[in-house]
Structure 1
Amino acid sequence: MAKKLKDYYDELFLDDLIEKITLAYPPFDSAGFKQTVMARLETLDFGPRQMLIAESLKTYIPLPYKETLAIFYKILGPELKTSLGMFTQGYWLWPVGKYVELYGLDDFDASTAFLKELTKRHTGEFGMRQLFLRYPEQTIQLAKYWCQDEDNKVRRLSCECLRIALPWAKKTTLVLDYFEDYVWILTSLKDDEDKSIQKSVANNLNDLSKVDLEKFKYIVQSWQRDGEVSLACQWIIKHGSRTLRKKAKTV
């Protein structure tokens, strides 16, 4: 039987996290932190485990937000060499991202700067999603900048956090209030050769097709009118139309 996602966040994981934090922050009460987390960990599913660990980090690192981020910066480790591995290798950073979701919403600049680095090792999409809900205009403008970043994982983040139906996040059509900017971001990425970015753009399209078919058609048709459609864009359009194709087969 395959290991459940929640079971990666066990006592062994906790010991490894404690070791990293203690090296970066020697006053860390590792015994108290571990006791607090382990008292409830085994009874919780994946989401509540992340919440428990993040809340316990807040309790046992009693520092201002930016000072806590400084500790987290120290433990991030090397960047992933490819777009793969954000979950298989970077999974241990999930509670750190959850911490930003919970406690970083009052500092847009500090949180987005950290999430940009986090996404190079894991993913920053869930923290960025919460910031998007709080600061939609600022987030959209930052996404327009990030979608041109040299790092493929940052480019992916620029559109992934805007998805209407981002998995493990609250569904929202807020991005449609900034439709012109949204189209600009997706169009900037439609020919990207990185497969993770192609999947993200396609998933954005697929989400859109479920809530506003006319806007979906507008984007796809504008790309097809622009001349030769790249292989990357062809794949994105096909994958982004998968729900519509399934519906057509059932009619």
Structure 2
Amino acid sequence: MGVMNELINPRVVGALERILAEASPGLRLPHLAETAGQLDELSLRERTDLLSGAMLADLPGDYAEAAAIFRRALADPDCAGWMIWPVSEAAVTLALARTGPGDFEDCLSLLAELTPRLTGEFAIRRLLAADLDRALAVIQGWTSHPDWHVRRLASEGTRAYLPWAIRVPEITARPAATLPILDALYRDPVEDVRRSVANHLNDLSRHAPDEVVAAAATWMAAPDANTPKVVRHGLRTLLKKAHPGALELLGFPPASLAVTAPRLDRAVVELPGELSFDFEVSNTGPAQARLAVDYVVHYAKANGSRAEKVFKLGTAVLGPGEARTFSKRHAFRQMTTRVHHSGGHALQLQVNGVRYPETGFTVVTG
């Protein structure tokens, strides 16, 4: 994250100070200026909070006055990039602390104005947490906004598990609350918006798999050329989990198959290393079979238990009596996102949601 932290640096602080001062002649920003020398060793989030707090100390304490300064600042094309995150956080803090009539809704509007310059998806979370229904009443209208950045904010900002963002418990408790936003956007002409819709749907699948499959089925009943891709991406976790409705919807119903045990090229994998394997799938039924082929690695944990992860291998279509050999190389190396431990592991095949017996092997971390 070191490089990411530098996205807010002394140059950004200086530019923000100049822009705000020009937007409000006579405004002094001593606390903001001081932050330029206080950024070392801070994460990107901590730098955001530092700048936001400094602005709150320097700007008028009234939300409407501060929002007016931020809007005037947007006249400067240099008011863009990562300085927008602390600006948006400061605006939300003022709107929630000293709410006047309409300040809540106006702050949402301000985030929509700021989002094309970077994003408002992080700051909006506190407004959602404060009053989800009140926020969604405004956000739903963004789904027809002429600027695709705002339409994307409607989906991305309301995701259950938005990376880097605070959680909004009510969104996970009420997964159907944001589905109307996705219903309005799944055929959006901009790929970035559609990708957000798919990721949002995938988030919801962790808590409401049946509702997610039902929504995807409705979309597939009224699709455009991009809808199948949106649905496949949105149901990816349910496919790995072998949810029957998701498999059926994407054309992978139960089939009569014979699957051989995977043939491993080695019994012991020394890190860093690779495990190669192959196996054969035969269609033993009387009809053509569409296959979603996955494999599961059961990783040894430090406490002696195991944790599994499903990996996509591919898809295939087999006619009656047809067989096909699949092969794969799987890498094992230490990563920040996965720490490997020595011990017994296992490989397991999953075809159309059906899992077959495990084949064991050993990992040695050295």
> Which contiguous aligned blocks of 4+ residues in structure 1 show a shift greater than 6 angstroms?
none
- Is 1:219 the counterpart of 2:212? The answer is no
CA change 1:176–1:221 in 2 (3 A) is farther
CA change 1:222–1:92 in 2 (3 A) is same
Residue 103 of structure 1 and its aligned partner are, at CA, apart by 2.5
What CA distance in whole angstroms lies between the structure 1 residues aligned with 2:167 and 2:53?
24
For residues 2-54 of structure 1, give each alpha carbon's deviation from its aligned partner in whole angstroms, at most 9, with x where no partner exists: 9712112111111111111111122233455312x134211311111100001
Which of 216, 234, 239 pairs up with 2:233? Answer: 239
Could you tell which deviates more after superposition, 5-14 or 101-110?
Answer: 101-110
CA change 1:180–1:13 in 2 (3 A) is closer
Question: Counterpart of 1:112?
Answer: 108
Corresponding residue pairs, total: 239
TM-score, normalization by structure 1: 0.85
SS of 2:116 mapped into structure 1: coil
Which of 71, 77, 89 pairs up with 1:98? Answer: 89
- Is 1:71 the counterpart of 2:69? The answer is yes
- Is 1:22 the counterpart of 2:16? The answer is no
What CA distance in whole angstroms lies between the structure 2 residues aligned with 1:78 and 1:217?
45
Aligned AA (2:164): W
Task: Give the 5 Å matches for 1:152-231.
Answer: 152-172=148-168, 174-175=170-171, 182-224=178-220, 226-227=221-222, 229-231=223-225
For residues 122-176 of structure 1, give each alpha carbon's deviation from its aligned partner in whole angstroms, at most 9, with x where no partner exists: 2122222211111111112222211122221111111222111011222345236
Question: Counterpart of 2:124?
Answer: 128
* Relative contact order, higher structure (CA 8 A, sep 6+): 1
Does the aligned pair in 2 maintain the 1:5–1:46 contact within 8 Å?
Answer: yes
Residue 115 of structure 1 and its aligned partner are, at CA, apart by 0.9
- Is 1:43 the counterpart of 2:41? The answer is yes
SS of 1:164 mapped into structure 2: coil
Does the aligned pair in 1 maintain the 2:186–2:194 contact within 8 Å?
Answer: yes
If each structure's strand is expressed as a fraction of its own residues, which one has the higher value? 2
Identity over aligned pairs, percent:
28
**Structure 1 stretches of 5 or more lacking a match?**
80-88
If each structure's helix is expressed as a fraction of its own residues, which one has the higher value? 1
Does the aligned pair in 2 maintain the 1:41–1:49 contact within 8 Å?
Answer: yes
TM-score, normalization by structure 2: 0.60
Could you tell which deviates more after superposition, 198-207 or 5-14?
Answer: 5-14
Aligned AA (2:179): V
Aligned AA (1:154): V
Residue 99 of structure 1 and its aligned partner are, at CA, apart by 1.0
CA change 1:19–1:78 in 2 (3 A) is closer
CA change 1:172–1:18 in 2 (3 A) is closer
Aligned AA (1:17): L
For residues 150-204 of structure 1, give each alpha carbon's deviation from its aligned partner in whole angstroms, at most 9, with x where no partner exists: 2211111112221110112223452366555533221111111101110110011
Aligned AA (1:235): K
- Is 1:147 the counterpart of 2:143? The answer is yes
Aligned AA (1:34): A
**Structure 2 stretches of 5 or more lacking a match?**
243-293, 297-354, 356-366
What CA distance in whole angstroms lies between the structure 2 residues aligned with 1:176 and 1:231?
30
CA change 1:127–1:8 in 2 (3 A) is closer
SS of 2:166 mapped into structure 1: coil
